[in-house]
Amino acid sequence: MSETPWVGRSLRRREDERLLRGRGTYVGDVDLPGQLHAVFVRSPFAHAAIGGIDADAALALPGVVAVLTAADVPAGPLPPFLWDTPPEKLVSALRPHLRPCHPPLLADRPLYAGQAVAVVVAESRYVAEDAAELVVIDYDPLPPVATLERALAPDALVVHEGWDDNVAVRFVVAKGDVEGALADAAVVVRERFSTQRQAGIPMETRGAVATWDATGDGLTLWSATQNSHPLRRALSRVSGVPQERIRVIAPDVGGGFGIKGVLYPEDLLVGLLAMRLGRPVKWIEDRLEHMLSAVHAREQVHEIEVGLDAEGRIVAMRDHVLVDTGAYNPLGLVIPYNTIAHLMGPYRVPSFEATAEGVITTKTPTAPYRGAGRPEAVFAVERSLDLAARRLGIDPVELRLRNLVRPEEMAYDVGILYRDGEPLVLDGGDYPEVLRRAAELVGWDDVEIRERNGRLVGRGIGVYVEGTGIGPFEGAVVEVGDDGRVAVRTGACTQGQGHETVFAQVCADHLGVDAGAVDVVTGDTDGLEKGWGTVASRSAVVAGNAVAEAAGIVREQALHAAGELLEIAAADLTLTAGRVVPRDAPDRGVGLGEVARAAREQGSPLASTRYFEPGTVTWANGAHAAVVAVDPETGEVELLRYVVVHDCGREINPMIVDGQVHGGVAQGIGGALYEEILYDEEGQLLNGTLADYLVPTAEEVPVIELDRRETPSPLNALGLRGVGEGGAILPPAAIANAVEDALSGLGAVVRRTPLTPPYVRSLAVPDATHLRSSGEDEILRP
Amino acid sequence: MAPREIVVRVNGEEYRGSAEPRVTLVDFLRDELGLTGTHVGCEHGVCGACTILMDGRTVRSCLMLAVQAEGHELRTVEGLAPADGPLHPIQEAFSEKHGLQCGFCTPGFLMTVEELLRDDPDPSEETIRSRLSGNICRCTGYQNIVEAVRYAAELTREAAP
């Protein structure tokens, strides 16, 4: 180790220079000689049969090279990608109802508006778009199934052939005696909460470029993917080209947030088209088709019951979760299980029962988006606890403190399994202290509900935990060149998280070089056999530890090789700042490049490949507090303050960690107040532009006041916990709690997001019927 | 429609290219002139990723046709700093304050800030947030961008004679 570790420093990012000068290489910037341009023809109907497709007029247009439909491409569902099959331990414990449900490459019976039914390839993008409009498709519209209610109705049209209902996944997770505990509870909050369908909106849309060299390099695909190795495997499956002859490159990628972490037909088709046509093919999605056909997220309904004793201690929790999966459910039970696994959160909950159902509708598929089922769980639970606190007359912070797992109880076995099939064990952190610190920062006891210029001020708080750093593995190659520069390659692609910088910091410490001497390449399948990719708050943990292990091995190799070179025992040498020196004669050192050359000439180059396989996830945690001003006349909510205290273990680069939290919170604020994907009853998307789907701008996101704790994870050598998603998990709950607090004099109950002006105004109108509970919503028992 | 010859000055250099009248300015810059630093985020004028300067004022290059730029003076992200020289103060500030993550929206922000600081060398936070509100960033939550703008203003004032 060097004297001052690189890990822990807010080092400026290596990737900034090229990105700031406009010299990044995003997939749209890849420009190959002779390339053709693909444009997809998408179904205008949510559900339809196709009687026939007439491409003659399109093909007659000068410059059009090909038009392909479902009949021209391999049939059947897309191959597996990530986590399609749950781990055996989970399956044997849950015995879930789980139907495989992947989309085809091109649909002959489209199941959502926007699904690709044909692809046009032409000499230019403009001509391809002209031709796409000339493809005549004989659609026979079928009834849409546009809502959860309609999908679950007894007489519902069953969307997928061969199924007897629309339930793609169903399972129950339970412990203890929920029925008995609820019967004995002093108070039971019984509510129905819902979270709206949202879009992740990376600023760069999807896109891919492929080129095929039948005799030489094989198939090369550039894609704005979060998972280049799994994409290579899938492309191999559909193309028949062995993986060794396929190279997938995720170059600079303009944001992902999970939206680019699923397998899409378009990426595979671009590869197949390049092979079939013998020329490079490029496809760049436009924003309108992105809104229609890239995955959505978050649409859930919770029917939750939380029972507490008279002192405010949780005695039982029961939840029934409905997840709108859209037309397909490629990730199996990932989203519903994430939701269920995070319901008990950081709390002691003696009895628990949760039923999850993933339900097919004829809408765009949903998949993990930053938080991936957790914000939905946290919204239902944190809302319930605020209602309970009000019923019991206990301060919301105090009520939470009475239930939080305490540091001395760690490691705390929650009593259910996590999604990886391992026992869900909270592995450290001081949850009460994190909450107290957030309350202190926001001035919880000073913030009193009062009117300010006719607006009502409220405060809200919440807590979360997040399972991070999930397996199965990530790998890293570390090797030293003759020039002394260190090359690191990993399958953990980057979409802005600063991997080139943070993995250089990790490598620098474990090898003994300057971070500036380390060049990191991510997301290129060349030179690394296996990879998984960047999703699920896992890359720092899983790839970071792989880099550390590989760098540690290369360090040992270098000391050994230098020992032979200098004829000094390796144990008497040290490696610092890129030089191997005798401990007792620092002036006799030799540069790492020279050592590398000597080692290579001896036939044992300085290089190591390591795959890190975490035993299970490691838990990050945090508390958020919001202060809002609500205008009861207009329903407008202004965020006056937003406080975050979080613990993601040891931080490799605190500046980058802060940036991850800021960005996550901003997306969470969008979900709390503004963003909602809207469909009509025919399954038509109503707000498919950025003028209609409102993401926050600099005017809507306040200064985020941030504090941290660093409780090193005991589960990995670097002590890391993940941080990519944490910021996005709490804002809907914390802000909803604050809005309800502001309106508490009016008896309002916030049951959903987003808290748009019309919804908030309806809450603020005292005689509106929807203000009243349904009668059973809250039952105070004797 | 037949392509038309278009002559524009970009970053102080004269460029000649040809484009059909329907070709957008951003496609012309990227595909015809090879200036790929300017990005396409929405193609409907909302996200601001394609923001460039035309005759010193910001425009959305996705909402303009290339032919409309004929004879005008354009400035893109590639023109902020000399090719082999140090970063422009705004670029320097964005890196120092971690005002970019994925970098896709960044060129549009840089050009917006260039215009802002020329109009107001010492903008208040309110002014900064207001002037940035036509550019969407999905990664940073804007906080570090706002800080970067303030720092860029400081650097620019220091550098002024």
pLDDT beyond 90 at A2: no
pLDDT at A448: 65
Hey, what domains does chain A have and what are their CATH numbers? Answer: 16-23+471-612 (3.30.365.10), 32-142+204-254+260-293 (3.90.1170.50), 296-470+616-780 (3.30.365.10)
A18, A130, A203: best to mutate for the B interface, most B CBs within 10 A: A203
Reported as a single tens digit per residue, the pLDDT across A118-155 is 999 999 999 999 999 999 999 999 999 999 999 999 99
Mean pLDDT confidence for B101-120: 98
The proportion of chain A whose per-residue pLDDT surpasses 70, expressed as a percent, equals: 97
Return all residues near A404 (Cβ < 8 A) that are at least 6 apart: A346, A347, A348, A431, A432, A435, A463
Q: Which residues in chain B are contacts of A498 at CB distance < 8 A?
A: 101
Note the pLDDT tens digit of each residue in B39-81: 999 999 999 999 999 999 999 999 999 999 999 999 999 999 9
Confidence class of residue A766 from pLDDT cuts 50, 70 and 90? low
Q: Which 3 state secondary structure label does DSSP give A325?
A: strand
Cross-chain Cβ contact B141/A26 below 8 Å? no
Domain assignments of chain B as residue spans, ordered by start = 4-79, 89-159
Higher pLDDT, A781 or A205: A205
B/e letters for A601-640, b = 16+ CB within 10 Å, e = fewer, are: eeeebbbbbbbbebebbbbbbbbbbbbbbbbbeebbbebb
Other residues' Cβ atoms within 10 Å of the Cβ of residue A174: 14
Q: How many CB pairs under 8 A join A and B?
A: 176
CB-CB under 8 Å, A201 with B77:
no
Tell me the fold of B4-79: Ubiquitin-like (UB roll) (3.10.20)
Interface check B26 vs A, CB under 8 A? no
Measured between CB atoms, which of A255, A691, A704 is closest to B46?
Answer: A691
Q: Collect all residues with Cβ–Cβ distance below 8 Å to A446 and sequence separation of at least 6.
A: none
Q: Are strands A451-452 and A607-612 parallel, antiparallel or unpaired?
A: unpaired
Alpha carbon distance A103, A294 (integer Å): 13
For A16, the closest chain B residue by CA position comes to B95
- In this chain, the answer to whether the domains covering B4-79 and B89-159 adopt an identical fold is no
Q: At what angle do helices B89-96 and B143-159 cross, to 10 degrees?
A: 140
Q: Sign of torsion, CA B116 B119 B125 B130?
A: negative
| Chain-chain contact of A287 with B42 (C-beta, under 8 angstroms) | yes
pLDDT of residue A769 exceeding 50, the answer is no
Gap from B101 CA to chain A (nearest CA, Å)? 4
- Answer yes or no: is pLDDT of A713 > 90: yes
Asked whether A145 and A163 are in contact (CB, 8 A), the reply is no
Contact B95 A17 (CB under 8 A): yes
CATH code, residues B89-159: 1.10.150.120
Longest dimension (CA), chain A: 89
Asked whether residue A768 carries a pLDDT value surpassing 80, the answer given is: no
Q: Does B110 touch chain A (CB under 8 A)?
A: yes
Phi, psi (rounded to 5 degrees) for A562? -65, -35
A48-91, pLDDT tens digit by residue? 999 999 999 999 999 999 999 999 999 999 999 999 899 999 99
Residue A85: both structure tokens together: 């099959």
Burial of A156 (0-12, 13-18, 19+ CB in 10 A): middle
pLDDT score, position A540: 97
SS3 B80: coil
- Evaluate if residue A775 carries a pLDDT over 60: no
A771: pLDDT strictly greater than 80: no
Nearest CA in chain B to A659: B140
| Cβ contacts of A225 on chain B, cutoff 8 Å | none
- Residue A587: what pLDDT? 87
Contact residues, chain B, for A126 at CB < 8 Å: 20, 22-23
pLDDT band at A776 (very low <50, low <70, confident <90, very high): very low
Q: Distance (Å, rounded) from C-alpha A631 to C-alpha A634?
A: 6
Phi/psi at A60 (5° precision):
-75, -15
d(CA A123, CA A37): 6
Instruction: Report, as an integer, the average pLDDT of A478-504.
Output: 97
Q: Which helix (H) or strand (E) holds A779?
A: strand A778-780
**Partner A contacted by B106 (CB < 8 A):** yes
The band of A237, judged by pLDDT with boundaries at 50, 70 and 90, is: very high
Nearest to B139 among A24, A663, A697 (CB): A663
pLDDT at A770 over 70: no
Which of B77, B105, B133 faces A22 most closely, judged by CB atoms?
B77
Q: What pLDDT, on the 0 to 100 scale, is given for residue A269? A: 98
Averaged pLDDT for residues A499-508: 98
- Residue keyed to tokens 């459910």: A329
The DSSP H or E segment spanning B13 is strand B13-19
For A340-350, what is the mean pLDDT?
Answer: 98
How high does pLDDT run on average in chain A?
A: 95
The predicted structure's pLDDT at residue A449? 59
**Residue A773: which pLDDT band, with cuts at 50, 70 and 90?**
very low
User: How far is A676 from A590, CA to CA, in rounded Å?
Assistant: 61
Q: Which residues in chain B are closer than 8 Å to A22, comparing Cβ atoms?
A: 35-38, 76-78, 107
Mean pLDDT of A404-419: 98
Torsion, CA A403, CA A404, CA A408, CA A412, rounded to 10: 100
CB contact under 8 A, A663 and B101: yes
d(CA B151, CA A609): 42
* CA–CA separation, A194 and A380 (whole Å): 8
Which of B27, B35, B106 lies at the smallest CB-CB distance from A20?
A: B106
CB distance A503 to A435 below 8 Å:
no
The whole-angstrom separation of Cα A738 and Cα A755 is: 11
What pLDDT, on the 0 to 100 scale, is given for residue A767? 57
**What is the pLDDT confidence band of residue B99, given thresholds at 50, 70 and 90?**
very high
Query: Strand B73-75 relative to strand B51-54: parallel, antiparallel, unpaired?
Result: antiparallel
Chain A CB contacts of B144 under 8 Å are: 658-659, 662
Each residue of A522-536: pLDDT tens digit?
A: 999 998 999 999 999
Please give the full DSSP string across A26-47, using - where no structure is assigned. Answer: BGGG---TT-EEEEEEE-SSSS
Strands (E) across A271-336 are located at 281-284, 296-297, 300-308, 314-326
Residue A782 has pLDDT above 80, yes or no: no
B chain contacts of residue A665, beta-carbon cutoff 8 Å:
141
Q: Which residues, at least 6 apart from A648, have a Cβ–Cβ distance to it below 8 Å?
A: A468, A620, A657, A708, A710, A720, A721, A722, A723, A726
The type of residue at A728 is A
Q: What is the largest CA-CA distance in chain B?
A: 51
Where does the pLDDT of residue A745 fall: very low under 50, low under 70, confident under 90, or very high at 90 and above?
confident
pLDDT tens digits for A629-650? 999 999 999 999 999 999 999 9
Q: How many CB atoms lie within 10 A of CB A58?
A: 24
Q: Which positions in chain B touch A658 (Cβ < 8 Å)?
A: 98, 144
Distance CA A260, CA A533 (A): 11
What ipTM was estimated for this complex?
0.98
- The answer to whether residue A192 scores a pLDDT higher than 50 is yes
Q: Do A257 and B138 touch (CB under 8 A)?
A: yes
Q: How far is CA A372 from CA A308, A339, A536, in A?
A: 28, 8, 8
Touching A: B residues 129-158, CB under 8 Å: 129-130, 132-146
Confidence of residue A662 (pLDDT cuts 50, 70, 90): very high
At residue A781, does pLDDT exceed 80?
no
pLDDT in tens, B121-160: 999 999 999 999 999 999 999 999 999 999 999 999 988 7
Quote the percentage of chain A above a pLDDT of 90.
94
The answer to whether B30 faces chain A, any CB pair under 8 Å, is yes
Write the single-letter amino acid at A166.
N
Chain B neighbors of A698, CB-CB under 8 A: 128-130, 132-133, 135, 137, 142, 145-146
